[in-house]
């Protein structure tokens, strides 16, 4: 394959970025998208040009470190894959591919395609946990939980924290990220005691960090590489409303 | 010869840990907040240790090279975590898990540490459950279990094929809570490059701020390494592409002994290498061997599609060779058996370098829904990578570099040979001997992090309560920082003609061909020479772009690959020294008539702990003799 790559280049947090165009020959459709970028970088390095900075680690879709905005779609055109799992088969020969970092006030660009997602850690710090100190836990089978309940908690808990939901949302809302954590922990009996305070603290933190409001467009669900359901947002709203009524 | 004191407590095996806990030194809660602890690495071991130590009241600083503590590769652990709950009433006990691990490790692990790991396993499950891990449940609402390789009980707890993710996130959340409470501080995108030793004690680290390139100094009363394994030395592995051995090597060069570095696990069920561009391999969990049957065609070079090969023309070679354990033999056995079939010409696929893992019978018996409930996420992952549907067609799998059983030598308190420097999780050597059993890696990480280190570290810190905050403007910090900067400058200034990745690939090939599933004196000597030559070429011809004081991923990578060369030499030296076969270490010269590993207990029933002697000097060997007082040392058999 022969490709024209239009890639966002930005030196650091404080500089202004711009698109650069690269022509890349001999791309195999067997490559993953990130292997294609590795290949581009190896060429740039040998041509004494600066390689493109981008994040990735596990390269099997579970760590959440990668994430690029490709041709206007988070993680590219395929459904339910992370950027690292995206195959070059998804692209046509002689096409132009536009590659950008996540765009969101809460995710500032550090360099090229790399963004700072510490705001997600801050959201979890605001209450995305069960306060069970080491050593204080009861015998695991003393808590009986319906299989369906645990399966639903698991489905909410598989979020990888990549940030695609925020990047794809026109309001840059983090409701799906927060909603899935609140839902996972509120469904489980172990997490119920803190369900109210958790919902209130996490939502307040979300506002404070500059994430936008949810207007139910559903883009987050459509673009989530793990297929996390928007029903988690409804559950968050219920938890939040219930908390406010109690207030 | 040996100066190693493993500090194993006296008394009967089952009482050692409780006796030790009862007699160990303590730090008064009021004094804990005066003591600083650095934890490097934030996976299942690092995050659980950092959270638990912070809960106790110490000041904790946590370092990760990723952008968040949640990215650590423990997250990719799939199949499960072992515990001795005996919920299945199949006569499980702490002793049985201990015995399975000792036997699985081919009698090269330390008894007392392994028993303790088994002993705290139930607390680990309780803790994770309390913290919200959605472990699989039966319809009754009780916790479910499945079986894993090398054992005959069902003791593995799991969350579909994402157990590691769920457990690691639980530990991460516990750490985030401590950060919220101001007891721990997180340093993301911060790469540890050296350990600072002052008056013989670990007192801090030198780290590179990945975003700015600045070299920074951090001090503490104790330093904990939770930096994982170095299976990426083979280039292609099931690990994250940034996983590395640099922390282990830095510790080694500062005086910590590195134990059994050649004992590396080649996992039998990875998706095979598909093309030349590939940057990593994707694991298919061992749990799949509960229901999947492994086979190759009976006919050499049979290129038919697997579904076109009739039942009677299939060789279920694991069931044939190992009737007692069948498809659930330990990993080293399964890997070698796959290699043997492929080398003999029976391998599947275009390259002949794969075997089938077939779910046809299981789906027929249990239905697609049940199989999907157990392995759905794994089947989806396989489908994504290979574009074939494992519900319809058998998976193709092949062994891949996966786990490092060897690691930093630690005593019973998990302290290395540098006082105040600890190693936990995969970064130490103690629990898995020459072969790790499935679902015991997450267990060891959580056991070390939640329940062992927070207790044992007090024994050291109790003597530090009068030591004020460690200053970072001392000569030891200066020197360490200077050395780090000099090396980075050297790498940047080489300006050669070849990329870092090209060297890493070539190094990986040398090791894979000569020092992986099968080794010999000849292949190892050849590998050592090739590695040394390649290392020289690297240091004269590698090209590292950019500068030091900026975000420079290539420079970070260059440092890791440079370290891999030194680790590779050490791996080979250790493999040459161990003139026997045990577990994953299979020396061609030492095998039984049936092709199984042949140990030499008289000469090699010891941990080989290597001491750094200076640049280009051979390392010095120290031996920790292994005593087996609670098991009978036998020839391992899974037949």
Among candidates B382, B434, B380, B370, which has minimal Cα distance to B403?
B434
Confidence of residue B1 (pLDDT cuts 50, 70, 90): very low
Read off the tokens for A83: 């950027």
Do A11 and A40 lie in one domain? The reply is yes
Confidence of residue B616 (pLDDT cuts 50, 70, 90): confident
Q: Please report which helix (H) or strand (E) contains residue A151, including its range.
A: helix A147-157
CATH number for the domain that contains residue A205: 1.10.1060.10
Q: Which residues of chain B make contact with A85, given a CB cutoff of 8 A? A: 384-385
Closest to B134 (Cβ–Cβ): which among A58, A133, A154?
A154
Cα separation, A49 vs B636, whole angstroms: 56
Confidence of residue A80 (pLDDT cuts 50, 70, 90): very high
- Contact across the interface for A81 and B553, Cβ inside 8 Å: no
Over residues A95-122, the pLDDT tens digits come to: 999 999 999 999 999 999 999 999 999 9
Residue B283 φ then ψ, to 5°: -75, 145
For residue A67, the model assigns a pLDDT of 96
Residue in the block written with tokens 């026109």: A170
Pick among A38, A116, A134 to test the B interface (most B CBs inside 10 A): A134
Over residues B153-177, the pLDDT tens digits come to: 999 999 999 999 999 999 999 999 9
For residue A137, the model assigns a pLDDT of 97
Which residues, 6+ apart, have CB-to-CB distance to B2 below 8 Å?
B622, B623, B624, B625
Q: Which residue on chain A is closest to B77 by alpha carbon?
A: A62
Read off the tokens for A134: 């080491």
For residue A245, the model assigns a pLDDT of 86
A residues 13-42 closer than 8 Å to B (CB) = 28, 30-32, 34-35, 38-39, 41-42
- Contact across the interface for B66 and A38, Cβ inside 8 Å: no
Do A127 and A103 lie in one domain? The reply is no
Q: Is B267-402 a CATH 3.90.700.10 domain? A: yes
Neighbours of B576 (CB within 10 A): 18
Instruction: Decide if B550 touches A, using CB distance below 8 A.
Output: yes
Instruction: Decide if B58 touches A, using CB distance below 8 A.
Output: no
Over residues B235-262, the pLDDT tens digits come to: 999 999 999 999 999 999 999 999 999 9
For residue B275, the model assigns a pLDDT of 87
List the catalytic residue out of B331, B396, B519, B587. Answer: B331
Q: Which residues of chain B make contact with A90, given a CB cutoff of 8 A? A: none
- Residue B242 CA, distance from chain mean position: 14
Q: Count of alpha carbons within 13 Å of A152, Cβ hemisphere only?
A: 17
CATH number for the domain that contains residue A47: 3.10.20.30
Do A193 and A233 lie in one domain? The reply is yes
Do A93 and A148 lie in one domain? The reply is no
Instruction: Decide if A198 touches B, using CB distance below 8 A.
Output: no
Q: Which residues of chain B make contact with A11, given a CB cutoff of 8 A? A: 550
SS3 of residue B501 by DSSP: helix
Do A125 and A215 lie in one domain? The reply is yes
CATH 3.90.700.10 domain locations along chain B = 267-402
**Burial of residue B434, with CB atoms counted within 10 A of its CB: 0-12 exposed, 13-18 middle, 19 or more buried:** buried
Cα separation, B123 vs B129, whole angstroms: 10
Q: Which residues of chain A make contact with B67, given a CB cutoff of 8 A? A: 55, 65, 116-118
Do A84 and A126 lie in one domain? The reply is no
Do A94 and A161 lie in one domain? The reply is no
Cα separation, A188 vs A183, whole angstroms: 9
Do A97 and A143 lie in one domain? The reply is no
Read off the tokens for A222: 């459509």
**Burial of residue B502, with CB atoms counted within 10 A of its CB: 0-12 exposed, 13-18 middle, 19 or more buried:** middle
For residue B2, the model assigns a pLDDT of 56
B residues 364-403 closer than 8 Å to A (CB) = 377, 381, 384-385, 387
- Contact across the interface for A191 and B132, Cβ inside 8 Å: yes
Residues B29, B33, B35, B41: what is their CA dihedral angle, to the nearest 10 degrees?
100
Residue B473 · residue B209 · CB < 8 Å: no
Cα separation, B263 vs B584, whole angstroms: 6
The percent of residues in chain B predicted with pLDDT above 90, rounded, is 94
- Residue A97 CA, distance from chain mean position: 21
Q: Which residue on chain A is closest to B65 by alpha carbon?
A: A57
Q: Which residues of chain A make contact with B160, given a CB cutoff of 8 A? A: 154
Find the mean pLDDT for residues B471-493. 98
Confidence of residue A246 (pLDDT cuts 50, 70, 90): confident
DSSP state of B620: E
Do A149 and A187 lie in one domain? The reply is yes
CA distances from B114 to A49, B105, B321 (A): 51, 10, 29
Over residues A198-244, the pLDDT tens digits come to: 999 999 999 999 999 999 999 999 999 999 999 999 999 998 988 88
Sign of CA dihedral B144, B148, B151, B157: negative
Do A104 and A138 lie in one domain? The reply is no
Over residues B38-63, the pLDDT tens digits come to: 999 999 999 999 999 999 999 999 99
How high is the mean pLDDT of chain A?
96
Cα separation, B586 vs B2, whole angstroms: 26
For residue A26, the model assigns a pLDDT of 96
Over residues A119-162, the pLDDT tens digits come to: 999 999 999 999 999 999 999 999 999 999 999 999 999 999 99
Residue in the block written with tokens 């960090």: A209
Q: Which residue on chain B is closest to A26 by alpha carbon?
A: B277
Cα separation, B242 vs B226, whole angstroms: 15
- Contact across the interface for B545 and A51, Cβ inside 8 Å: yes
Which residues, 6+ apart, have CB-to-CB distance to B288 below 8 Å?
B79, B269, B357, B359, B375, B378, B395
Instruction: Decide if A193 touches B, using CB distance below 8 A.
Output: no
For residue B54, the model assigns a pLDDT of 98
Provide the number of structural domains found in chain A.
Answer: 2
Decide if pLDDT at B374 tops 80.
Answer: yes
- Contact across the interface for B188 and A118, Cβ inside 8 Å: yes
CATH 1.20.58.100 domain locations along chain B = 475-604
Which residues, listed in sequence order, are joined to residue B398 by a DSSP beta bridge? Answer: B270
| 3.30.160.340, 3.40.950.10, 1.20.58.100, 1.10.1660.10: CATH of B475-604 | 1.20.58.100
Boundary of a domain, candidates A67, A83, A111: A111
Structural domain boundaries, residue A128: 118-246
Q: Which residue on chain B is closest to A188 by alpha carbon?
A: B132
Do A123 and A241 lie in one domain? The reply is yes
Confidence of residue B553 (pLDDT cuts 50, 70, 90): very high
Q: Which residues of chain B make contact with A57, given a CB cutoff of 8 A? A: 66, 71, 73, 240-242
Residue B227 · residue B64 · CB < 8 Å: no
Q: Which residues of chain B make contact with A110, given a CB cutoff of 8 A? A: 211, 551
Residue B195 · residue B250 · CB < 8 Å: yes
Task: List, in sequence order, every beta strand (DSSP E) within B335-469.
Answer: 355-358, 395-404, 407-408, 421-423
Do A233 and A154 lie in one domain? The reply is yes
The percent of residues in chain B predicted with pLDDT above 70, rounded, is 100
Boundary of a domain, candidates A60, A87, A111: A111
Cα separation, B347 vs B331, whole angstroms: 18
Read off the tokens for A231: 């029903």
User: How far does A58 lie from chain B, in Å, by closest CA?
Assistant: 4
User: How far does B159 lie from chain A, in Å, by closest CA?
Assistant: 8
Closest to B126 (Cβ–Cβ): which among A45, A137, A158?
A137
**Residue B331 known to be catalytic:** yes
- Concatenating the DSSP letter of every residue in B231-287 gives GGGGSS-SS-TT--SHHHHHHHHTT--EE-TT-EEEEEEEPPP--TT-----B--GG
For residue B396, the model assigns a pLDDT of 96
Find the mean pLDDT for residues A79-93. 96
Cα separation, B465 vs A170, whole angstroms: 54
């Amino acid at each position: 394959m022969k490709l024209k790559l239009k890639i966002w280049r930005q030196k650091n947090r404080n500089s202004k970025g711009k698109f650069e165009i690269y022509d890349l020959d001999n791309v195999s459709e067997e490559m993953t998208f990130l292997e294609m970028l590795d290949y581009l970088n190896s060429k740039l390095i040998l041509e004494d040009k600066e390689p493109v900075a981008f994040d990735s680690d596990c390269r099997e879709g579970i760590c959440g470190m990668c994430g690029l905005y490709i041709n206007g779609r988070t993680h590219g055109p395929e459904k339910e894959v992370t950027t690292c799992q995206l195959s070059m088969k998804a692209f046509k020969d002689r096409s132009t591919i536009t590659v950008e970092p996540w765009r969101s006030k809460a995710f500032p660009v550090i360099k090229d395609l790399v963004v700072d997602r510490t705001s997600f850690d801050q959201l979890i710090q605001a209450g995305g946990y069960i306060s069970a100190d080491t050593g204080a836990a009861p015998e695991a089978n003393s808590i009986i939980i319906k299989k369906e309940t645990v399966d639903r908690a698991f489905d909410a808990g598989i979020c990888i924290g990549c940030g695609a939901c925020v990047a794809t949302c026109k309001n840059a809302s983090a409701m799906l990220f927060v909603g899935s954590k609140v839902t996972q922990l509120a469904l489980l009996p172990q997490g119920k005691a803190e369900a109210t305070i958790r919902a209130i603290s996490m939502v307040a933190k979300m506002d404070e960090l500059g994430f936008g409001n949810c207007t139910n467009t559903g883009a987050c669900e459509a673009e989530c590489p793990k297929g996390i359901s928007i029903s988690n947002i409804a559950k968050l709203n219920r938890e939040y409303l219930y908390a406010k009524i109690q207030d | 010869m040996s100066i190693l004191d493993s500090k194993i407590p006296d008394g009967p095996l089952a009482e050692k840990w409780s006796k030790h806990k009862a007699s160990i030194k303590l730090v008064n809660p009021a004094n804990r907040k005066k003591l600083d602890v650095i934890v490097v690495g934030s996976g299942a071991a690092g995050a659980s240790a950092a959270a638990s130590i912070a809960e106790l009241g110490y000041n904790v600083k946590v370092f990760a090279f990723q952008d968040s503590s949640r990215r650590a590769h423990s997250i990719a652990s799939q199949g499960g975590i072992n515990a001795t709950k005996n919920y299945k009433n199949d006569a499980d006990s702490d002793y049985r898990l201990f015995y399975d691990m000792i036997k699985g490790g081919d009698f090269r692990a330390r008894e007392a540490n392994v028993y303790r790991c088994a002993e705290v396993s139930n607390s680990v499950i309780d803790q994770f459950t309390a913290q919200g891990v959605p472990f699989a449940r039966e319809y009754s609402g009780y916790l479910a279990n499945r079986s894993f390789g090398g054992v005959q009980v069902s003791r593995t707890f799991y969350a579909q094929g994402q157990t590691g993710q769920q457990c690691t996130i639980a530990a991460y959340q516990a750490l985030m809570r401590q950060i919220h409470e101001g007891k721990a501080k997180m340093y993301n995108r911060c790469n540890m490059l050296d350990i600072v030793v002052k008056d013989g004690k670990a007192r801090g680290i030198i780290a590179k701020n990945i975003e700015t390139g600045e070299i920074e100094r951090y001090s503490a009363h104790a330093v904990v390494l939770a930096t994982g394994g170095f299976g990426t030395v083979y280039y292609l592995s099931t690990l994250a592409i940034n996983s590395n051995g640099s922390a282990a090597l830095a510790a080694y060069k500062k005086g910590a002994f590195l134990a059994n570095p050649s004992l590396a696990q080649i996992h039998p069920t990875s998706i095979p290498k598909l093309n030349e561009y590939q940057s990593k391999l994707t694991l298919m969990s061992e749990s799949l061997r509960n229901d999947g049957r492994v086979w190759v065609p009976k006919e050499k070079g049979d290129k038919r599609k697997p579904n076109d090969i009739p039942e009677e023309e299939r060789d279920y070679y694991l069931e044939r060779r190992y009737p007692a354990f069948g498809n659930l033999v330990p990993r080293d056995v399964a890997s070698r058996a796959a290699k043997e079939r492929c080398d003999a010409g029976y391998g599947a696929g275009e390259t002949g370098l794969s075997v089938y893992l077939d779910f046809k019978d299981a789906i027929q018996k249990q239905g697609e829904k049940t199989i999907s409930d157990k392995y759905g996420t794994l089947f989806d992952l396989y489908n994504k990578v290979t574009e074939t549907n494992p519900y319809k067609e058998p998976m193709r799998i092949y062994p891949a570099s996966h786990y490092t059983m060897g690691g930093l030598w630690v005593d019973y308190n998990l302290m290395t040979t540098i006082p105040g420097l600890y190693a936990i999780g995969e970064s130490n050597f103690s629990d898995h001997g020459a072969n790790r059993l499935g679902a015991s890696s997450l267990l060891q990480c959580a056991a070390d992090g939640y329940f062992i280190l927070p207790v044992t570290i007090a024994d050291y810190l109790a003597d530090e309560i009068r030591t004020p905050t460690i200053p970072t403007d001392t000569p030891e910090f200066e020197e360490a920082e200077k050395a780090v900067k000099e090396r980075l400058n050297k790498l940047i200034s080489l300006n050669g003609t070849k990329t870092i990745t090209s060297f890493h690939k070539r190094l990986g090939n040398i090791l894979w061909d000569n020092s992986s599933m099968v080794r010999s004196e000849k292949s190892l000597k050849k590998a050592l020479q090739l590695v040394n030559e390649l290392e020289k070429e690297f240091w004269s011809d590698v090209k590292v772009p950019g500068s030091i004081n900026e975000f420079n991923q290539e420079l970070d990578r260059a440092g890791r690959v440079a370290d891999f060369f030194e680790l590779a030499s050490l791996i080979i030296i250790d493999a040459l020294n161990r003139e026997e076969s045990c577990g994953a270490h299979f020396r061609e010269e030492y095998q039984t008539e049936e092709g199984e590993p042949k140990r030499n207990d008289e000469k090699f029933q010891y941990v080989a702990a290597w001491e750094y002697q200076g640049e280009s000097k051979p390392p010095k060997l120290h031996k920790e003799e292994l005593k087996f007082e609670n098991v009978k040392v036998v020839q391992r058999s899974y037949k």
